[in-house]
Structure 1
Amino acid sequence: MYSDEDLNEAVNKGIFSPAAVNEFRQQFAQARNIHQVDEENFRLLSGFNDVFVVIASGLLLASLTWLGFETKPVLGALILAAGSWGLAEVFVRRKRMALPAIGLLLSFLAGLFAVPITLFDVSHSVHELQFVAAGLLTVAGAWLHWQRFRVPVTVAAAMVSLFLGVFGVLFSQFPEIRFYYQPYLAGAGLITFALAMYWDAKDPKRQTRNSDIAFWLHLLSAPLIVHPIFSTLGIFSGVTGYSTAMIVLALYTLLALVSIIVDRRAIMVSALVYVVYAMSGLLENYGFVSYSMALTGIFIGGSLLLLSAYWRQSRSFLVNNLPGKAQTFLPATH
């Protein structure tokens, strides 16, 4: 199995001509009655062997990490990071396997993040400065991993590590911030969304690795933006009245419009759990305790399927009514 990135590499090596590859892409899209850009492709599996390698790698790394942790906690963290990098040399750099690339990246960064935290007695509470060190170390590790392996999810993982480090600094210097962190979390989401749009603008045709990078950033940005808003509304405290539910639906509708305009379903998917929770809670308040989840699923699922069926038409209507300058940064609608 191959991806757009593999086709681009074949063109760069002179195996195929650019015209032949473009013609193949058009024929492929026409045969399946799809619009190539709107498919929002990203590479997750290159075959079932990916799943096999992830399971085997997980068993090996978990066992080695446990043995190291029994000796000394920081040793377990170092073994996890080093083992993940070593396996990535084989299965990512040489064999170019998609799912193991994501799994081994996350385990590598998890090992690095755990190093500053496990340097001290884990029975004591973790100081904010340890999170600062963990975040900065993980960002540095993510940069090195990116330089070596170019795994698209690396940028999103690095953003998470960076935010943890920044929040660690803020919490250590201004302890009162931890009681009203929501605006900072929403700010982190907006920064992530802006970065995602930057990568999207570099590849409006969605044919290179830049599109995959943007996908993971969009997947991260939505919950960062939505969670603090819903938390402020009291959704997670059981406050699910009529007005609250309407605000939730209005916010999700806004996210849906943004998702359609920028052509990224990942934004809607990553915020979907909040809407389902709010709507089911509202129905329970009105006496539909036994059927709240079923009715919510029917309403939300049906709406999303209808939107999917008319996604291209919806995009054309919305994008064509935007200013011409804004349209140049968005994927084409035809």
Structure 2
Amino acid sequence: MYSESDLQDAVTAGVIPATAAQALRDHVAQLRASPVVDEEHFRLLTGFNDIFVAIASIILLVAVGWLGNSVRLGASPHEPAFMSGLLVAAASWGLAEYFTRRRRMALPSILLLAGFVGGTGFALFALAIRIFPHAGDSLASLIFAAVAAMSGLAAFAHWRRFHVPITVAAGSAAAAGVIAGLIMAATPDSKALPFLLLLVSGLAIFALAMWWDMSDRSRTTRRSDVAFWLHLAAAPMIAHALFHLLGVLNGDEISVGRAILVIALYVAFGLVALAIDRRALLVSSLAYVLFALYALFKQAGAVELSWALTSLVIGSALLLLSALWHHARALIVHGLPPMVTDRLPYLDRATV
């Protein structure tokens, strides 16, 4: 199984001509009865061996972390052992040298990136707890910012070595954590501020994702894969922060007006998703619109069937949208000004 970026790499290396690569894309599009440009490709599996290696890697990293946890080096049994994270990070980098750099396996590369950055962050966090066992809110926020900064540097080093597309999203999330930690250190008692920072961070990462997307409007290079993971990181940050600030899921009940507002925002997310040809926003905010629609059915009197009706409406709507995605997107894009459409992904392959 080959991704769009693999196909483009083969063209760049001169293995196959560009006309042959385009003919292959057109042939696959005809078989699927769907334009290739609307498939939102990203590389996750190159074969079942990816799953096999991923499972084996998880088992090995868990074992390494467990063994590292037994090396306390003076830490109390209730404190996390920094050797656990350090060994997981080292093992993840070592495994990536073969499975990522040489074999270029997609799923194991993602897991090993998470193991390296997560292990680094865990080790630093464990050290901080030993050095500052009684840190207050402000100091804890500063420690969080410092750990996020070092994790971001680890992600940058990993990117320079292996160029795994998800690494940019991990580094961006770490950078957002640095800024949020510094601001929270200055105002530790604010309850709404964390969600405001989460929303702003999500919007900033979304803007970065659009910058990567605009550099590859035909979505045939690895830059599109980087943008995909950035969108996947930004979407839950935007959705969770926005709906939390609106008071959704704060209690067991939701008013009719607030439920209608949630549905209206979901429709707006859908319009944005169609315009940019990314589905992450729709998926990330799905739980909120399900809850809002459930509340409407419940308050309308359909108590016993409220969840069934909610699932029926949302499931049918999303399946219909998927089937008509290209046509719906064409309507949205054609209604936008040229200065916007000139930066969005191509509607038709013939445009490329």
TM-score (norm 2): 0.90
Structure 1 residue 262: deviation in Å? 0.7
TM-score, scaled relative to structure 1: 0.95
- Shift of residue 282, structure 1, vs aligned partner: 3.9
Q: Secondary structure of 2:156's partner?
A: helix
1:179 deviates by: 4.2
* Contact 1:260 1:311 (8 Å CA) reproduced: yes
Alpha-carbon distance in structure 1 between the residues aligned to 2:316 and 2:175? 38
2:243 is the alignment partner of 1:235: no
Q: 1:165 aligns with which of 155, 159, 178?
A: 178
Post-superposition offset of 1:181: 2.5
What's 1:196 paired with? 209
Aligned match of 2:101: 93
Tell me how far apart the structure 1 counterparts of residues 306 and 170 of structure 2 sit (CA, whole Å): 35
Deviations 1:41-76 (A, max 9, x none): 111111111111111111111111111122131111
* Aligned partner of residue 217 in structure 1, secondary structure: helix
AA at the equivalent of 1:76: S
Give the superposition deviation at 1:135. Answer: 0.3
Aligned length: 334
1:133 aligns with 146
- Give the aligned partner of residue 328 of structure 1: 342
- The residue identity in structure 1 corresponding to 2:168 is V
d(CA) in 1 for partners of 2:288 and 2:281?
A: 12
Contact 2:192 2:245 in 1 (8 A): no
Greater mean deviation of Cα atoms: 314-323 or 123-132 = 123-132
Rate the CA distance shift 1:59–1:253 in 2: closer, same or farther, 3 A. Answer: same
The Cα offsets for residues 264-301 of structure 1, whole Å up to 9 and x where unpaired, read as 11221122122113322443445544433222111111
Alpha-carbon spacing, 1:212–1:330, altered in 2? closer, same or farther (3 Å):
same
CA distance in 1, matches of 2:299, 2:277: 35
Matches within 5 A, 1:1-334: 1-72=1-72, 73-121=81-129, 124=133, 127-238=140-251, 239-334=253-348
Question: Which amino acid is the alignment partner of residue 206 of structure 2?
Answer: F
Q: CA deviation at 1:124?
A: 4.4
Residue 101 of structure 2: SS of its match in structure 1?
A: helix
1:99 partner SS: helix
Verify the 8 A CA contact 2:66 2:84 in the aligned structure 1: yes
Q: Which letter maps to 2:205?
A: T
Q: What residue identity is the alignment partner of 2:119?
A: G
User: 204-213 vs 269-278, which deviates more?
Assistant: 269-278
Distance in 1 (CA, whole Å) between partners of 2:160 and 2:105 is: 17
Deviation at 1:180, TM superposition (A): 3.0
In the aligned structure 2, how far is the partner of 1:289 from the partner of 1:295? Answer: 10
Alignment partners' CA distance in 1, 2:116 and 2:11: 32
What one-letter code is carried by the residue in structure 1 that aligns with 2:33? N
2-structure distance, mates of 1:167, 1:125? 21
Where structure 1 has 5 or more consecutive residues not aligned to the other structure, the ranges are none
Amino acid at match of 2:184: F
CA distances 1:203-224 after superposition (whole Å, capped 9, x unpaired): 1111111111111111222221
Find the residue that maps to 2:280 and give its secondary structure.
helix
- Give the superposed CA RMSD: 1.8
Amino acid at match of 1:176: D
For residues 48 and 280 of structure 2, the distance between their equivalents in structure 1, rounded to whole angstroms, comes to: 24
Q: Single out whichever of 70-79 and 285-294 deviates more from structure 2.
A: 285-294
Distance 1:282-1:30 versus aligned 2 partners, 3 A rule: same
Q: Distance in 2 between matches of 1:220 and 1:243?
A: 29
Percent identity for Structure 1 against Structure 2: 43
Runs of at least 4 residues of structure 1 off by over 6 A? none
